[in-house]
A = this chain, B = another copy of it.
Amino acid sequence: MSETEAILKRYKLRNTPFRQRVVEVFNIKPHSALSTSQIESLLGAHDRITLYRTLKSFEDKGLIHQVTDGKGESKFALCHDQCEVHRANKEHAHFHCEHCDTTYCLEDAGSLEIQLPDQYQVKSINLALTGVCADCQ
């Protein structure tokens, strides 16, 4: 059994050729998040409807999670073993490189302290940095 097949099985997802292709796309750039259009161009020829539903299944089963990069575009990233997104109330930082358009997951990268107006109840925190990554310097 290939590693891709094992991943699908671990997340209780049916092992189809299309899903294998999608998982492999995520493995091209590990620890980074991909927009729908990036996924589409890495995939090659495919049916867009099937991709949307595949991403939804992946997210429902906990294989990927959604990320906002601070630029309004929503992206998807593989959940890793240390992925905290599916546990509650965990801040999760991302770095968006404006040069290569890659969004990196920064797990466990810092601390923050916020003073909120009284009575505001915080449920989740999204921290997105924008700049230039090491590869693009």
**A residues neighboring B (CB under 8 Å):** 66, 68, 70-74, 93, 95, 98, 106, 109-134, 137
Contact, CB under 8 Å: A118 / B134: yes
Instruction: List the number of copies, as a whole number.
Output: 2
Contact, CB under 8 Å: A112 / B129: no
Tell me the smallest distance from the CB of A76 to a CB of chain B, in Å.
11
Main secondary structure of the interface of A (DSSP, over half): strand
**5 more CB-based (< 8 A) A-B contacts, given A123-B132, A124-B129:** A68-B70, A72-B74, A109-B116, A110-B115, A118-B134
Contact, CB under 8 Å: B109 / A127: no
Bound form: Cα–Cα A124–B127 in Å: 11
Bound form: Cα–Cα A42–B80 in Å: 42
Which B residue's beta carbon lies closest to that of A126? Answer: B70
A109's partner among B115, B124, B131 (CB-CB below 8 A) is: B115
Residues of B within 8 Å of A70, CB to CB, are: 68, 124-126
